[in-house]
Amino acid sequence: MSTLALSLSALVSLLPATVLPFARRVSNGDGLFWLLLVAAIVGPAGYSVVALAGSWETSLPAALWLAVAVSLALFALLVALVREASRLAPLLLPYALVLGVLGTGLEPLSGEPGLSTAFDAWLAVHIAFSVATYGLCTLAAVAATAAFIQEGALKRRSPSSFTRMLPSVSDAERLVLRILLAAEIVLGVGIVTGISKLYVSSGTLLIVDHKTLLSLLAFGFIGLLLVLHYRSGLRGRRAARLVLVAYLLLTLAYPGVKFVTGFLVS
Quick: pLDDT tens for 146-198. 998 998 888 888 888 999 999 999 999 999 999 999 999 998 888 887 777 77
Instruction: Please tell me whether residue 30 adopts helix, strand or coil conformation.
Output: coil
Q: Give pLDDT tens digits for 75-86.
A: 999 999 998 999
Q: Which residues contact 262 (CB under 8 A, 6 or more apart)?
A: 58, 59, 60, 110, 114
Q: Give pLDDT tens digits for 31-65.
A: 999 999 999 999 999 998 887 765 555 677 888 89
User: What single string gives the DSSP state of each residue in 223-240?
Assistant: HHHHHHHHHH---HHHHH
Contact 86, 33 (CB under 8 A): yes
Give the Cα separation of 50 and 45 in Å (integer).
9
Using alpha carbons, select from 64, 37, 59 the residue that is nearest to residue 131.
64
For residue 128, the Cα-to-chain-centroid distance in whole angstroms is 13
Contact 44, 14 (CB under 8 A): yes
pTM, whole model, 2 decimals? 0.87
Instruction: Please tell me whether residue 58 adopts helix, strand or coil conformation.
Output: coil
- What pLDDT does 50 receive? 84
Q: Which helix (H) or strand (E) holds 128?
A: helix 121-156
Q: Does residue 257 carry a pLDDT above 70?
A: no
Q: Give pLDDT tens digits for 92-151.
A: 999 999 999 998 988 776 654 544 555 566 667 777 888 898 899 999 999 999 998 998
